[in-house]
Amino acid sequence: MNRPIGVIDSGLGGLTVAKEISRQLPKEQMIYIGDTARCPYGPRPIEEVRRFTWEMIAQLRKADIKMLVIACNTATAFVLEEVKEELSIPVIGVIHPGATAALKVTDRDIVAVIGTEGTINSQAYDEALRSIHPTIQVKALACPAFVPLVEKGVFAGSEALETVRNGLSSLNNLDFDTLILGCTHYPLLYDAIREAVGPDIHIISSGEETAREVSTLLYHHDLLYTEKGEPKHSFLTTGSPTHFQQIAKRWMGIDIQMVVTSVSLATSS
């Protein structure tokens, strides 16, 4: 079915999910909204995150999307269930796929989760992990400095490594073997995170598993696009289109055959 998949995020981080969807489902068209002007969502009150999420959804519904991917962990934690109840199309978040992927690889059944304040305080990952594995041990840590770093395009180098090392310092000497990157911005800091935690820790990004679930749901609902042709993705941002496009090109590794435009949502802050 030649209707687009809608993807929403608080900013640039959801590109990590969009990239994986594009890799696994190269025929599918995407429309992405990144609310970069109001990022990060992590420190915001639940009601504010809820309102911003519904504003992005309202924008995407104008494009007759066939599926919605909430590629923001904070929005997934706060709003996913009510969105699934309200919309008639398939809706998927990123928390359950990430939890599932972590449980597949952990050897000691001790998993660390890093994310925004909102995601960590919601305990959404704890609940998702324990709903599958009731005795799993979970170590959760908020890393509020990571999202602003990514949003300004600092993925590597001394500033990134120092910020990551400081942010993860309280995980030192904890006996976990698997680390969930519980924010879709964090995979852009993968190299710094890998250096900080060492080579023996499994690092889980939810993008790959989320894209797998997207594929499964599209197939189940007979929504896969099977015709020939190259999809043209549209990327909307509430912030600077130029900055967004630069980061998107750098991260997604393509000379963007994208339409990147600025969008004004219902409110601003």
- Express each pLDDT in 197-249 by its tens digit: 999 999 999 888 899 999 999 999 999 988 777 888 899 999 888 888 888 88
CA 213 to chain centre: 14
**Considering only 77-81, 119-123, 142-146, 236-240, which range has the smallest mean pLDDT?**
236-240
CB 98 within 8 A of CB 180: yes
Using the predicted structure, report yes or no on whether residue 189 has a pLDDT greater than 90.
yes
What percent of the residues of the chain are helix, what percent strand, and what percent coil, each to the nearest 5? 50, 15, 35
Calpha distance 210→18 (Å, rounded): 10
- pLDDT-derived band of residue 63, with 50, 70 and 90 as boundaries? very high
Catalytic annotation, pick one of 95, 183, 211, 252? 183
Q: What is the β-pairing status of strands 137-142 and 110-115?
A: parallel
Catalytic residue among 25, 72, 214, 252: 72
Q: Is 143 known to be catalytic?
A: no
pLDDT in tens, 92-117: 999 999 999 999 999 999 999 999 99
1 band by pLDDT with thresholds 50, 70 and 90: low
> What does the pLDDT average to over 142-163?
94
Asked if 187 contacts 118 with a C-beta cutoff of 8 angstroms, the reply is no
Predicted confidence at residue 256, as pLDDT, reads 46
Question: Which band of pLDDT confidence, cut at 50, 70 and 90, is reported for residue 44?
Answer: very high
Instruction: Delineate the domains of the chain, giving CATH numbers in brackets.
Output: 5-94+208-262 (3.40.50.1860), 95-205 (3.40.50.1860)
Mean confidence (pLDDT) of the chain:
91
Q: pTM for the complete prediction? A: 0.91
Please give the order of strands across the beta sheet that includes 258-262. 91-92, 67-70, 5-9, 30-34, 233-237, 258-262
